[in-house]
Amino acid sequence: MTPSIITLSDKKGKVFAVIKKKAGMEVASNISLKDYNTFGIDAVARHLVKVSSVEKLQDVLKQDRWKETPKLILGGGSNVLFTSPEVELVVKMDIRGIEVIEENDDFVWIKVGAGENWHELVMYCIDQGWGGVENLSLIPGTVGAAPMQNIGAYGVEIKDVFTQLEAVDIETATLRTFNPEECKFGYRESVFKNIYKEKYIIASVNFRLNKRPQINTSYGAIEEVLTERLGSTGAKSASIRDVSEAVIHIRQSKLPDPNKIGNAGSFFKNPVVPRAKFEGLQQQFTSVPGYPVSESKVKVPAGWLIEQAGWKGKRFGNVGVHNRQALVLVNFGSAQGEEIKKLAYDIQQSVQEKFGILIQPEVNIV
């Protein structure tokens, strides 16, 4: 099929982008990425390819012109910080679709395209009465990014409902299936963030959801919010929609809307430290919170560490730390990626000096 060609020009007639369209694939040149990342960083993609099927993705990877070109895979742009003014090739994942592949009286198994919006998927599942992902409401990004970093919130992680995924090998363009064991899920971690980083592109993800949901309200302020909304019965009478609405309320009260102020949600991962280290911190900082993850490990909230180090609500020119959640770094309008990266580095150094803990970014820095 011969591609159609569209040129985009400014008011003076200067062409700033050329877009070639084929079925299932859209190729553009010299495109601003400002609207493609929630930080609102104005980097430029020399080439941007949108793909809406596995076959078109494989077609892109097989093309000689891009065989040796470094590729940035982009979903919703909610977990990326552009620090370079220009990116050679961006592959924008637009593979959509939600398909029921199996079900019985208790469970339903679904296959979801990597380009589907995560929160919209959660809302769809709630509408169907399928439980398991309601605690993950309002997490920004796409389905394809969810298993990559094993997204989690309020006592639930992707690995709890995940069954398998399909990913395309960037070098060979072949499709491979990964089961949970092969993904090696950890805290905000999977093989796609380490040994297989930049080697595979996730195309679809399969989940098993519960037709007879068992709600989880044990983490954070969910029970408190449910009691305020539902009365004394609270969590005992809550539905998965009630839990979702409680989570959304909590997240909106703490986190800024990226449509109003540039941010990527939580910038740092909560560090997991040896129990002996945590007990030492307790002696020095009696109010330090901690959540056991095993007999020998304790998770410490990075937001608490950052706030205690004096960063919460601070602004430095175009960048700053959010005044309600110290985990969130913000772009006040015209920041460069390097400014946010420097702020993150300064926070890391400060926290390490005060607590002896090096907090690691959750955001992908490009």
Residues catalogued as catalytic: 188, 266, 362
> How many whole angstroms separate alpha carbon 212 and alpha carbon 302?
35
What is the amino acid identity at position 236?
K
From CA 134, how far away is CA 126, in angstroms rounded?
7
Distance CA 275, CA 293 (A): 10
Q: DSSP secondary-structure letter at 131?
A: B
The CA distance from 41 to 32, in Å, is: 9
Angle between helical axes of 222-230 and 240-254 (0-180°, round to 10):
110
CA 284 to CA 288: how far, in whole Å?
A: 9
126 beta partners: none
Whole-angstrom CA distances from 360 to 208, 225, 303, 352 are 31, 30, 12, 11
CA 303 to chain centre: 18
Q: Which of 267, 277, 363, 272 is nearest to 312 (CA)?
A: 267
Q: What angle do the packed helices 240-254 and 118-128 form, to 10 degrees?
A: 150
DSSP H/E element including 320: strand 319-321
d(CA 144, CA 112): 9
